[in-house]
Structure 1
Amino acid sequence: MSQFVRAAVVTGLLLLSVGTLRADNDSTLRVFPEGQRPDDRRLEPLKDLNGYFPFEVPESPAEWDDRAEELRRRVLVANGLWPMPPKTPLNAVIHGKVERDGFTVERVYFESQPGFYVTGMLFRPSEGEGPFPGVLSPHGHGGRLQDAGPDKVLQQIERGEEKFAASGRFPKLARCAQLARMGCVTFIYDMIGYADNTQLSYELAHRFAKQRPEMEDPENWGLYSTQAELRMQSIFGLQTWNSIRALDFLCSLPDVDASRIGVTGGSGGGTQTIVLCAIDPRPVVAFPQGMVSTAMQGGCTCENCSLLRVGTGNVELTALFAPRPQAMTAANDWTKEMMTKGYPQLQQLYRMLGHPEKVDCDAYLHFPHNYNYVTRAHMYDWFNEYLGLGLEEPIVEEDYELLSSEEMAVWNDEHPAPKARGEAFERQLLSQMTEQSDAQIASLLPEDQKSVEQYREIVGGAFETIFGRTIDGVGTVERENIAKVDRGDYWFFKDVLTVPAHGEQLPVVSVYPKSVDWSGRVVVWLTGQGKAGLFDDAGEPVDAVRTLLERGDSVVTADLFGQGEFASSPDEFAQNRKVENPREYAGYTYTYNNPLFSQRVHDVLTLLKWVDADDHGTEGVTLVGTGEAGLIVATAAPLSGKTVDAVAVETGGFRFATLDSFRDRRFVPGVVKYGDLPALLGLAAPRELLVVGDAEEIPAAVETCYSATDRSKLTWAANANDATARIVDWLAGD
């Protein structure tokens, strides 16, 4: 029996639950005092990239394993890489060998996916016998060819940041040259939009600021569009995929020992290092520089993608590499507090995992943001130890004869740059990615119970990440009763539900039959108007609710976040909020925050967790959603575990793919990639399911999931004229 039912008079006994009950004649639906909103953390300003992102270390290795699995899935889903796409031939070309003292340099290009090229430079030891360790070196926003210039490098030398006037001008190439001299095959590759990787422009990848209506075509869209966001297509994801394929290239070289791979990059390259090492098991040592911080998380569009840091941050993402060895330094930038905020938690984790010596952070707070000579020296010693190079320390970086512009250029007359570029290529690339992804997800549609489990693991798992919570993640739900009213033939309750783990509150209204025996069934019914949708202007239940009461059912409803008592004005939650960043990129908001739709799904799960709180007689819980809440209920159902026996939803034929703005209150990143609303409906199986007002033809995801479990539990009522009446009839078994 649920907590709200226990507050009623049952067989003459008054059963009290949490809170103080009082009988009154209040006929209004308002739970909180007039003018007071729920004490809910979600009403606070949104989090942005400049927030605070602490890492709370779990209490045991087992708890960390669970958390790490959850986080890795988040990173993969956010990057559009869950499940991992098939890897196509690289068709790698290595050319233009140049010799220097102790190392050679070659230019490289390959296809990370058909027609999309990764470009870079390959540094190899000129002496010794391989196979050699390999080092992958992503770069940040200075670019592979970053040149400080002759004047600035002299200033850096005076401050102790660099040592050599020649090689110090090109700090990214300096580290590659030194690593090659140390005996490592080192590949530095261009970030999208830099140097020779210009099929997608620098302005698009790193300076995007204004939405492009012409790239919102639902059949032929571009990056940063609503359609791209609905499919987890982003510059961040493309760069992560390029990093994975760059590692494929490096490991495929005959002179590389694929069991000894290191990864290091600074600033934006540090972000790429963190993410690659979080999801790829091949690197054995890492040096993510300049971005391991509890403060600013990365300001560029290329460092943010929807879902990535919801409930987490760069320090915890860095921790996913544990217990493999990694090191970094702090500087006078957003990493300046690492020695007290971030690094102690990494040390705590490594100690707990039995390897305290395998994490290190040194503070060079007299330097600004950098990957300078001093920091590089720290990295050389770290890689020397953990790549087994056996060199005498300290390792001293040496100068080298600079490369000419021609010697650094990947494209030339013999190797011309690809002609496919610009907006036409952008559209074609995303279309190609969509076709591949759609086919991959379609191949998962179940045929039997075994494949249903696989579908739940991959597609259902993606939805768990996308919507940000399951019933098990709700935590404890505390109830405070505000009112209990005897209304003659039924009891009327007002309650406040509080979820301490998430700082959330929910105003709840419920009715319980008094003139007839309780049937044992609880109907949790949500509407697009909040709790007001089930009551008339006088505060009396509408006919549908009265019918359920007369049959002995109890009914629970609530204002979901942004409805009713949450809103200070009718238009306050008419659309999704966004952070104050003036650049019109959804990722600046949804990298760090759940959208409104997901928050409302969380509230449904809170209600279900409360109703399911004990086992004093409830014989079944039915979840109902009408109006816009039908979509929310359809989403909550597969996330509800075993708390719900039956689900009834009015969909209106809606599909997330029809949305044309990330400000739409129904917008959720990634939901279309995994099958849209039909996939969510299918994942409700094997619960009893009624779908009202959808298309005539049952979508494949729904049909296959129910056919593989129990087809008799699916009722499809496409043309019901009165959705509410059809739902009530279905609840009665008609």
Structure 2
Amino acid sequence: MRFFSADQYVDRHYMNEREFHYRNALEEGNWSDWQQRFRQRLRDITGLEQLAKETDGLPLEAEIVETVQMDGYTREKGYIGTEPGLSIPFYLLLPSDGEGPYPLVLTPHGHSRRGKEIYVGNYETEQERSEGVDGDRDIALQAVQEGFATIAMDVRGFWEMGREEEYEQGKGNSCNPLQKRALMFGRTLIGERVHDMGRVIDYASTRPEIDSSRIVITGNSGGGTVSLFTAALDERIDICIPGSYFCTYRASLLAMDHCDCNFIPGLLQQGEMYDIVGLIAPRPFLAVNGERDEIYPSFGAREAYAHVERIYAAMGVADRCAIHFGDGGHRYYKEPVWPFVKRQLERLKR
């Protein structure tokens, strides 16, 4: 009996030339043209371009439903429209100290059942609190305590943006059914999530307390995915810090089982993950990975980062990219994040 060899299949196709390999820009010497064409192609294959046209002119219809004074900051809960009949639930955290308008940190979450709640430290159980704190997953709370305005939203497929069917069954997310439906309409969950982040930025620009000219995006795992693609496709993002995601696709998505929400039809005909980071350059980029991450292996992250270094060096901004490996597995590592953010924001002010 003979079986299908997925490894041989991947190896054969992976060796094909990618249309937007960054070496093309190096050889041609025109980064701007390469970025413009590649960004448009990604907008097309993710469905983001189609979604933008479908929602052009859609009002935000922002609604704040709760305001709570916390220790050192105010927490608002609200909703904004992202497409007809669908709203994004979010928390806005504003520091009580300092003087606004404050730079903004967006914190898309990963594959945790309660989504944004973990990132703002709104824990349901002591076990959830322990896991959140020990894994540095209270990212929105970290950001506001560092003096930033922060928006933590539910990512499409989770918690208030998940389906009732999965919630009632006790499942952690609705990624599989939502991705299948998105694909049937020429979309992807990644494209829809990037669109949602854009709507959040649109809303942030209406708030006088927020300096929407200085925007950071960082999240862990699936939140790292959203962070990277949002920064690549939305140039309003100034600093991108994906946690526990940066790698090569060959060493991660193609090497083991991953959630359906990670996949974009035809992506590897266009570029590898480090090529996508080329759409972020010359804006600051920090990859935060775990040395013992089993699903985004450190050897793949190192291989990908060697390419990113070449891209940033070729643009003359080698000091704007970095990678950090925490001594652990698949989790967030806050140690390098906020010093990097403050250093790069200070450079932006000059």
TM-score, with normalisation over the residues of structure 1?
A: 0.40
Higher helix proportion (structure 1 or 2): 2
Is 1:279 aligned to residue 233 of structure 2? Answer: yes
- Listed one character per residue, the Cα deviations across residues 116-145 of structure 1 (whole Å, up to 9, x for unaligned) are 010121111111221110111111101223
Aligned equivalent of 1:198: 162
What is the rounded CA distance, in whole Å, between the counterparts of 1:254 and 1:113 in structure 2?
Answer: 24
Aligned equivalent of 2:5: none
State the AA in 2 paired with 1:316.
D
Question: CA separation of 1:50/1:193 partners in 2, compared to 1, >3 Å: closer, same or farther?
Answer: farther
State the AA in 2 paired with 1:241.
H
Question: CA separation of 1:238/1:201 partners in 2, compared to 1, >3 Å: closer, same or farther?
Answer: farther
- Listed one character per residue, the Cα deviations across residues 202-245 of structure 1 (whole Å, up to 9, x for unaligned) are 5683244xxxxxxxxxxxxx9626xx646413333322211111
Equivalent residues of 1:60, 1:352 under 8 A apart: no
What is the rounded CA distance, in whole Å, between the counterparts of 1:123 and 1:357 in structure 2?
Answer: 30
Question: CA separation of 1:198/1:363 partners in 2, compared to 1, >3 Å: closer, same or farther?
Answer: closer
Aligned equivalent of 1:608: none
Question: CA separation of 1:141/1:100 partners in 2, compared to 1, >3 Å: closer, same or farther?
Answer: same
1:51: how far off?
Answer: 10
- Of 116, 121, 128, 1:144 maps to 116
Aligned equivalent of 2:4: none
SS at match of 1:259: strand
SS at match of 2:93: strand
What is the rounded CA distance, in whole Å, between the counterparts of 2:260 and 2:17 in structure 1?
Answer: 19
SS at match of 1:376: coil
Aligned equivalent of 1:324: 283
SS at match of 1:322: coil
The within-5 A match list for 1:550-699 is none
State the AA in 1 paired with 2:303.
K
State the AA in 1 paired with 2:37.
E
Question: CA separation of 1:273/1:377 partners in 2, compared to 1, >3 Å: closer, same or farther?
Answer: same
What is the rounded CA distance, in whole Å, between the counterparts of 2:129 and 2:17 in structure 1?
Answer: 34
- What is the alpha-carbon root mean square deviation over aligned residues? 3.3
SS at match of 1:262: strand
SS at match of 1:287: strand
Equivalent residues of 1:53, 1:313 under 8 A apart: no
Equivalent residues of 1:132, 1:257 under 8 A apart: yes
- Of 133, 138, 148, 1:168 maps to 133
Is 1:343 aligned to residue 315 of structure 2? Answer: no
What is the rounded CA distance, in whole Å, between the counterparts of 1:71 and 1:245 in structure 2?
Answer: 22
Question: CA separation of 1:369/1:149 partners in 2, compared to 1, >3 Å: closer, same or farther?
Answer: farther
Aligned equivalent of 2:61: 91
Equivalent residues of 1:125, 1:181 under 8 A apart: yes
- Listed one character per residue, the Cα deviations across residues 702-729 of structure 1 (whole Å, up to 9, x for unaligned) are xxxxxxxxxxxxxxxxxxxxxxxxxxxx
Aligned equivalent of 1:69: 36
The within-5 A match list for 1:297-696 is 297=253, 299-331=258-290, 332-333=292-293, 334-338=296-300, 340-364=302-326, 366-371=327-332, 375-388=333-346
What is the rounded CA distance, in whole Å, between the counterparts of 1:336 and 1:46 in structure 2?
Answer: 20
Aligned equivalent of 1:239: 193
SS at match of 1:145: helix
Question: CA separation of 1:201/1:318 partners in 2, compared to 1, >3 Å: closer, same or farther?
Answer: farther
Question: CA separation of 1:234/1:344 partners in 2, compared to 1, >3 Å: closer, same or farther?
Answer: closer
SS at match of 1:291: coil
- Listed one character per residue, the Cα deviations across residues 84-107 of structure 1 (whole Å, up to 9, x for unaligned) are 321411111123222222212111
Question: CA separation of 1:169/1:343 partners in 2, compared to 1, >3 Å: closer, same or farther?
Answer: closer
Aligned equivalent of 1:396: none
Equivalent residues of 1:137, 1:187 under 8 A apart: yes
- For these two proteins, the number of residue pairs brought into alignment is 316
Aligned equivalent of 2:3: none
What is the rounded CA distance, in whole Å, between the counterparts of 1:254 and 1:184 in structure 2?
Answer: 14
What is the rounded CA distance, in whole Å, between the counterparts of 1:247 and 1:139 in structure 2?
Answer: 16
1:53: how far off?
Answer: 11
Structure 1, gaps ≥5 residues long = 1-43, 157-166, 209-221, 391-734
SS at match of 2:245: coil
Work out which of the two has the higher radius of gyration on C-alpha atoms and give 1 or 2: 1
1:354: how far off?
Answer: 0.6
SS at match of 1:310: helix
What is the rounded CA distance, in whole Å, between the counterparts of 1:169 and 1:386 in structure 2?
Answer: 27
1:258: how far off?
Answer: 1.4
Q: Percent identity?
A: 24
Aligned equivalent of 1:179: 143
Q: Which moved more, 1:353-362 or 1:310-319?
A: 310-319
SS at match of 1:369: coil
1:113: how far off?
Answer: 1.4
Aligned equivalent of 1:501: none
Equivalent residues of 1:74, 1:308 under 8 A apart: no
1:169: how far off?
Answer: 6.1
Equivalent residues of 2:162, 2:174 under 8 A apart: no
Question: CA separation of 1:97/1:153 partners in 2, compared to 1, >3 Å: closer, same or farther?
Answer: closer
Structure 2, gaps ≥5 residues long = 1-7
1:378: how far off?
Answer: 1.0
